[in-house]
Structure 1
Amino acid sequence: MITEGDSLQHVAQGTVPVQGNGSPDAGPMIALARRARHASRVLAQSSSSDRDKALWAAAAALREMAPAILEANARDLEASTAAAAFRDRLTLTPERVEAMAQGLEEIADLPDPVGQVLEEWTRPNGLRIRRVATPVGVIGVIYESRPNVGADAAGLCIKSGNAVLLRGGSESLHSARAIHAAVQAGLRAAGLPEDAVQIAPDADRRHVADMLGAAGLVDLIIPRGGRSLVERVQAEARVPVLAHAEGLCHTYVHAAADPAMARRIVLNAKMRRVGICGATETLLIDAAIAPSLLPQIVADLADKGCTFHADERARAIVPELPAATAEDFATEWLDAVLNVAVVDGVENALDHIAQFGSSHTEAIVTSDESVAIRFMNGVSSAVVMWNASTQFCDGGEFGFGAEIGIATGRFHARGPVGVEQLTTFRYEVIGNGQVRA
């Protein structure tokens, strides 16, 4: 935190020594992290009603400031040279700004996770022990492309009593800063410290390194972006990381699938929004149903502009499909491109997913409950769907209001990360004079 001896000039210049890692003169993100640390103590002790008030006010500010936000986004889009799918992730519209505002309101309506008694018991000696949910502290979020991530992250962190340090991609700098201004207006309206939501001052790549090294100031890093970003964060961070790996999602159409349902699900899972991590990248179709159903699925997708990479068995059914390589099956396209493979039953499908999947989201389409259970028990992914599109892997769709990312690791949180996943806990032990022998 900022002590009385830390002058505002030193804070602004980032020259105050870093608490915990002893690295002086580390840059402006360290100064912001110090201020966030101080604000986190205030936020953690704030009332649920004050935090909800901040979220409602921030939602109102997003609507009021929508013209400025869209103007800032237009500047980012004008400078962008990204492919169409990535431009879609970057693009804001009046509807998407409204969705951000509604997301904050939905978060405000969620139960307060802070202070919830998770478990309680009494020992034979009369000690009462309870496990109570508490904020993590200061969360660093490093994200790319999608500027709405900043609003979602800020909202979830405010609700869960955490301060947040945001570093968006250079491609969304103007949009991110305009959204940040609206969130800070909400904090001001509720009488909460604006420093609880900080954002990188510019696109300097050094800010990422400073965040990754800010042990003692930042409690958790959440990267949200492509493989190179996540791998860098995992390799360099001196702070715990809640990782979001690639969204290499699979949809398996079993022999007992309803054909009309399968066509509808696969089309949505691939083409609804091709640039999101929950989009299906590989279709696995059972050999027993492939000859009749695969040509129809391919036609549905091709009509929407999808292209394909297919294995030999799929190409034997639909000869015009381009051949796939092993590298294709290991690629998260984030575009209107689909890998296709024909498999012999659920075990073969599970083997393919184990070889190429990223532990994000998998789906099975079948009317056979026993096969569905075998599939769901057989994958190691954070989310598994039965007769539903993989694009439902989303915090809003799960009832979380929003998400800060999809966690694909094995510890602390898995799947969409909402307010409950942004808490840790403490043990409270209550006695009446007990001493230990």
Structure 2
Amino acid sequence: MKIKDNVLHYALGIAVVLSVCLTAVLWVNPTYLQNNNKNSQSTEKKNAVSEDASKTSMEDVYQPTSIIYNKNGQSFRQSSSKIDLIESARQDVKTWDVESIGSVKKLSAKRYENLLKRDRMVLMGFPDDVAPTQLKELVKNPPKILRGKKFDRIGIELSKRPRIYLLNDRNYQATRLVLKKGKYHNLQKIVSSNQVEQTPVQLKRMNSKYVSFYSSKVRVQQYSYLANKDNASTFVTRLMGASNASVNSRREDQETVYFDNSGQRIAVKNDTGDINYSNYSRDSAKDTSVSQDLSQGFKKMQDTGRLLDDVRYDEYNHNDHQLTYRTYINAFPILADNNYGTYHVKLAGTGGERIGFSLYSLQIPVPAEKDSVELPPTQDIINKLVQSGISKQKIKSIRIGYRSEVNGSSKQVIDLIPTYFVQYNGSWVDYQSVLDGKVS
């Protein structure tokens, strides 16, 4: 066995022993996934809703997850394992003082694409639509002209007199903001720093949105974490708002079900740790705006009491009032089947209010078996799927994310492995599973 392998096994062994020692302290404490450059934290949770959960603001969750910069006719995705690029850019945005907001203009497809490709343009992209309420760092007091509008990108043209745009891919809308004052120091450093990796990408339209296609092979960091399982009773108290004595429970097949007389129910899958809360007393249809749904979704996720440092808004379905939040690592989401770091929220409407997530959380980073994984160009993946007989119309989108695997050295260690995911038949699935026929 190689020396490197021995060191890895020893490191994993020590980490597992440490995890066991901490389990007694952490058993009733919600945990969260941390970036490698953050210290581990554990705070006692005695209240129905954790005080630590409230430390994460709406702006922390509803923030861009990607930065693209156009230079000399080419687009480059900005990434770094050493610098939190999004946070650096946000520090600039917080200094902006908007003087006026132009009219919301609907452009032709060609003019919109030309704007996206404009030289020296920085594009800060959101995974899905956001409303002015979620852009308070940028637009402190949204005027009537923005009421009911949605955006999925912020464009910053770094010319002598920088221009700011709110953009919407779906309907080619662009709204220009004029600033009284503001700094661009961090943005300028990001696009010129040697510590920031510039990966060539092309923006291609798929399912009414522009998706980043990597033009060449791309290397993505791999990670490993110790997994911790929280006690289901913690969430019974937090979500149902009652003491365990007032809640009934029973076993149904592979589930443990907790319920009360007010229409609240929590089902915990014993084998996977999936937990699903539902409140059938809130089943009246609601005619709510995007802004209201996004604000309510964030509050419902906070009700779990989980620490949300690395959790980001990811998907939204206005018709069903459903939202999905995922944990991101260095700008890439975890898209694991077991819902690690994922929160599904359905607001009150037909079928009641629901929240789904996992009892398991990824807590302490440990040495990964591989430093990184090289992935092929995005178009190569699409070509493989089509050549295998998959209808191109069924592939609504594609992106890089992390799938999870139990480490071969310890069942308590979870490996997060980068791969391509395709939005296929309404779900995000590993492209390899589609090629292998494991997804119908």
TM-score bucket (shorter structure): under 0.3
Structure with the higher strand share, 1 or 2: 2
Higher CA-based Rg: 1
Structure with the higher helix share, 1 or 2: 1
- TM-score (norm: length of structure 1): 0.26
